[in-house]
């Protein structure tokens, strides 16, 4: 199981059967988000489709927001794992390669990962490409915005693969980059359901120029 149990579950699943039940609930949550959206999502239907008693659902999740929070964290874990694999396979050594692979992976997940169009890394959208639900910019942590957490999780990859020196300069550059990418990619998916290719290309260009200038390769 991914890192979703850290701070998101009422009870950490200890047995394989419990782990599988939690994963099934997350899988069904993702599918239902695509089918009916967040507002119409119910804990009862998630439990029914996952084949677990509703009481079992509440053993692990306090409500549907907690379930969606766990799904968002699972999405982030999957995104970072896929990036690490792609960075390693491509021998990423500079910002140009890192930006291209990172944006491509995010776009691919938006297009293919169940539920990702409604909930990616925390923020919940009314509809794919639509406006976010107010207040969900801090879904992952009440004290920190979702993008701050994403930037923090990306830091380890950047340090490991690009040799970027850790410190406040890198922290600042990453949060600016994540905020900029978030804004432009939201626009790309509002413009076209699968993401406007020209806006996606503009996002890459913006990030490459900014990061290359502010964080030159070591």
What are the distances in angstroms from CA 60 to CA 16, 48, 70, 148? Answer: 14, 15, 10, 26
Count Cβ atoms within 10 A of the Cβ of residue 96 and give its class: 0-12 exposed, 13-18 middle, 19 or more buried: middle
Split at pLDDT 50, 70, 90, the class of 167 is very high
Is 50 exceeded by the pLDDT of residue 5?
A: no
Q: How many residues does the chain have?
A: 218
> How many domains are there within the chain?
1
d(CA 49, CA 39): 18
CB of 139 closer than 8 Å to CB of 127: no
CATH code assigned at 132? 1.10.357.10
pLDDT, tens digit, for every residue of 131-156? 899 999 999 998 999 999 999 999 99
Can you give the residue range of the structural domain that contains 66?
3-214
Query: Which range has the worst mean pLDDT, 10-24, 30-44, 68-82?
Result: 10-24
């Amino acid at each position: 199981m991914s890192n979703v149990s850290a701070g998101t579950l009422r009870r950490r699943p200890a047995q394989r059967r419990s782990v599988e039940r939690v994963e099934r609930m997350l899988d069904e949550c993702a599918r239902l988000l695509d089918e009916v959206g967040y507002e119409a999502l119910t804990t009862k239907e998630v439990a029914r489709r996952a084949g677990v008693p509703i009481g079992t659902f509440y053993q692990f999740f306090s409500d549907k927001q907690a379930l969606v929070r766990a799904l968002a964290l699972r999405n982030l874990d999957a995104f970072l794992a896929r990036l690490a694999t792609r960075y390693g396979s491509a021998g990423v050594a500079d910002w140009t390669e890192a930006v291209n692979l990172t944006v491509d992976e995010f776009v691919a997940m938006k297009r293919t990962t169940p539920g990702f169009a409604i909930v990616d890394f925390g923020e919940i959208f009314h509809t794919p490409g639509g406006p976010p639900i107010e207040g969900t910019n801090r879904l992952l942590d009440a004290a920190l915005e979702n993008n701050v957490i994403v930037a923090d999780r990306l830091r380890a990859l950047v340090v490991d693969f690009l040799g970027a020196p850790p410190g406040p300069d890198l922290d600042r550059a990453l949060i600016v980059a994540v905020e900029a990418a978030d804004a432009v990619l939201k626009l790309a998916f509002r413009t076209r359901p699968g993401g406007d290719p020209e806006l996606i290309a503009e996002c890459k260009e913006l990030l490459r120029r900014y990061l290359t200038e502010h964080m030159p390769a070591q």
